Amino acid sequence: MKLKSFFAASATCCLLISQMTGTMPPVQQMQVTAETYVSPPDSVNPWELDENGVLTISGTGTMTDNSWIETLGSSNIALIKKVVIAEGITGIGESYFHGVHFSDLSSLDLPKSLNVIEKDAFNNCFGLTELVIPVNTVLVENQALSYCPDLERVTFLNPNCSIESTVPGLICGYEGSTAEEYAQVHYVSFLNIETGEQTDYVEVTEPPKYSGECGADLSWQYKDNGTLTISGTGDMYDFSCSDVPWGHLTGSIVRVTLEPGITSIGSNAFFGFSRMKDINVPEGVERIGEDVFHACGITTLTLPRSLKYVGRRTFDNALSLAYIKFLNPECEVESEQGYPYVRIIYGYDNSTAQELAEEWGCKFISLGDDEHDLICLGDGNADGEFDLADVVLFQKWLLGSPDMLLNNWKAADLNNDDKLDVFDLILMKRALVEKHMFSQ
């Protein structure tokens, strides 16, 4: 079924026409404080970041050398306002911009000479809001534009471009083009760049499900308080990103309860669940599949002694993850984890947990002989210690002060009622006083 709405899109059309004809007015550049960075002379794809925050990549053929990512580092990448890929370049290589986090990007210009955007080229690229695929581009490969959370609009100027990747945001192109066909098949909105007419393709579906099967002997149920409960015995099915049975509840699930008897968590089970803050992984779970907590909003994670294996990219882009606790010192964790943002790893000395902390460059806290000492109660900022800074942070957080991030909310729940309020603050202040008295 399709619902059509014609609207006055003069500004949009002018923008698109200017992009096609090359008459787009210049983007006003903001002055930044970065030095001018230039790639080595023998680089396959010479690049330069100038003082205005413009990154220019030149050369011929397919771009494969993305050494600028490592050379600049995250602090200087944050200064990039515009990326220009020069004429003569015919391909953007596999995973070229994968995982790059732009903080203040205004535009990314692709040349007319571009023929192919290869697999994973922009996968997990942050800060990119709009992209115009040039008229000579014939192929956008699998996953090339996938998981770009800020991408709002993609325009295809070649009506016959082969689109293998998922494409987020509004799809723009010509009537009868592969871009319109993509919008029809995937039930997304399509903007005709000649007429300004937008068509919203909507799939007629059955009412959403709030319970069902997720393993041979496992079932799931969602309650409107934001809780997903999974119960039964045995392994959970492995899923792709598109067939997670509770995937339509991504914006609703806040916490997940796994009941005893579950032996595995299937791949992609909670991929992209950014509102999900809490999950218990009970004793008896032996395996966690690939991408389970990828881009998930969980803040803390305790992995039981029974856990033997953690799959690839399980913690990738989980931006709020303050700490992970490994209770099995020999738990196998696949080395390919993408971009883990965890700040503290708790584990035993000479364990795989300690190796991970060293590999990821985060703080390691030994559990010693008592696994119950692994959380420092009151440690709301997740720095491994409970002190006055935690009390000040929590008080400001309760008052609603902007930019106050409570990294470890569970540690601040001294009242142990799964909510944070002034009673927790009173107990925290009392605990700090007692700690000071006993230390005298």
Judge whether residue 289 has pLDDT over 90: yes
Q: Is the pLDDT of residue 376 over 80?
A: no
Provide long-range contacts, Cβ within 8 A and 24+ apart, for 218-226: 218/262, 220/245, 220/246, 222/246, 222/249, 222/252, 222/253, 226/252, 226/253, 226/254, 226/255, 226/275
Among 133, 195, 132, CA closest to 5: 195
Task: Give the rounded percent of residues in the chain with a pLDDT score beyond 90.
Answer: 58
Please, what are the domains in the chain?
A: 2-201 (no CATH), 211-374 (3.80.10.10), 378-440 (1.10.1330.10)
Of 330, 345, 236, 347, the closest CA to residue 292 belongs to 236
Query: 40 or 45: which carries more pLDDT confidence?
Result: 45
Kindly give the residue spans of alpha helices, DSSP state H, lying in 88-226: 178-186
* pLDDT at residue 424, as a whole number: 82
pLDDT mean across residues, the chain: 84
pTM for the structure as a whole = 0.48
- 382-416 residue pLDDT tens: 776 778 888 888 888 888 876 667 777 777 877 66
For the cut 70, the answer to whether the pLDDT of residue 373 exceeds it is no
Q: Is the pLDDT of residue 437 over 70?
A: no
- Mean pLDDT of the region 154-170: 95
pLDDT in tens, 49-69: 999 999 999 999 999 989 899
DSSP strands (E only) in 271-343? 278-280, 287-288, 300-303, 309-310, 323-326, 332-333
pLDDT digits (tens, 9 = 90+) for 319-360: 888 889 999 999 999 988 888 888 889 999 999 999 999 999
Least confident of 24-28, 134-138, 200-204, 245-249: 24-28
